[in-house]
Amino acid sequence: MTKKLWFQAGVGILLALLIIKYFVEIQWIFSPAIIILKTIFVPLLLGGVLFYVTVPFQRFLENRKFPRWASIITILLTIAGLITAFIMIVGKPISDQVNALVKNAPKIGKQLEDATHYVLRNKDNLPPQVIDVFNSLVDSIQDIAIAASGWLVTFLQSVVQVSLLAVLVPFFLIFMLKDHEKLAPSIYRFFSGPRQEWVKKTLQDIDRVLRTYIQGQLLISFLLALIMYIGYLMIGLNYALLLVIFAFFMNVIPFIGPWIAFTPALIVGITQDPALVLWVCVVTLVAQQTDSNFITPKVMGKSLDIHPLTVITVILASGKIAGFIGIVIAVPFYAVMKVLLTNIYHARESIKKSATKSV
């Protein structure tokens, strides 16, 4: 019985739960290490994202006889140039829209309150379907507002550490670009024979999954933001640039992100002109349908092969455990674990078949 897969899996789960239980009880011992990990995690994460975005450009340069150091310098100068150009082009419009939003915040709040009171006063005269939609919308906005407030605090704390990020992110990026071919060999050299081949293949699969997800998700977010920006300009929605920049970052989160991005656009539409609500919904629907039917299938294909319900469950659970950062890394972390467990399963099946043939 002890050789059965279900028994071994059960023992593994129990051991994992015991380790977690005892770790929680003595976590104060590891608090210095945890503080260090928290300090470097975000810069390392951003450095990793930039690495996967820029490594195709590095390969392009090196295929044209650029030495490694020259390709790294070119990439850093290109990133600095793009950031400078972005600030010069959209810095003033963003600043103007932020100032206008801050100035009109009390007015927007008052209009939302008036709209809510109007619906509540006329609740008996409205169709039940409208009331159900309104109640669901209010609940959703409240939930998102509560979650967003926590994320905002985390974000503001990160902004305070922007000087640290400005130093550490380029530091991690430079070393990743310089030595990324050495990472996998430094791991699988500790193994030999079939195990070494298995570790090598698993690391290659993990690299492929992360590369596909990061590059694909950023491209999808950019294209969605572009479609939404054009749509918001066409319908004359205020704060279009701010809303689209927010949508770009939220669209990185699969399935849930676009609906988080939809909420502030809906609020602006309600306060600007209630008739705009329909057009905001139309723009969002067009963007989502374009993404679902054309963009994502072309960009991602079936490379991740994760069911939408699984994605939503993983994102919600990760958000509860680790906040906004957990939401961002939930899907790639799940994809990596799926690759690892799938390769372990295939290795076990291969060993069983070999044992059967030898008998």
Instruction: Please write the tens of the pLDDT for every residue from 223-256.
Output: 999 999 999 999 998 888 888 988 998 888 877 7
Instruction: Report pLDDT for 40.
Output: 79
Q: Where are the domains of the chain?
A: 33-358
Mean pLDDT on 177-199:
85
What pTM was estimated for this model as a whole?
Answer: 0.72
3-class secondary structure per residue, the chain: CCCCHHHHHHHHHHHHHHHHHHHHHCHHHHHHHHHHHHHHHHHHHHHHHHHHHHHHHHHHHHHCCCCHHHHHHHHHHHHHHHHHHHHHHHHHHHHHHHHHHHHHHHHHHHHHHHHHHHHHHCHHHCCHHHHHHHHHHHHHHHHHHHHHHHHHHHHHHHHHCHHHHHHHHHHHHHHHHHHHHHHHHHHHCCCCHHHHHHHHHHHHHHHHHHHHHHHHHHHHHHHHHHHHHHHHHHHCCCCHHHHHHHHHHHCCCCCHHHHHHHHHHHHHHHHHCCCHHHHHHHHHHHHHHHHHHHHHHHHCCCCCCCCHHHHHHHHHHHHHHHHHHHHHHHHHHHHHHHHHHHHHHHHHHHHHHHHHHHC
Model pLDDT for residues 206-231, shown as the tens digit of each residue: 999 999 889 888 998 999 999 999 99
Instruction: Report pLDDT for 266.
Output: 86
pLDDT surpasses 80 at 161? no
Instruction: Report pLDDT for 81.
Output: 93
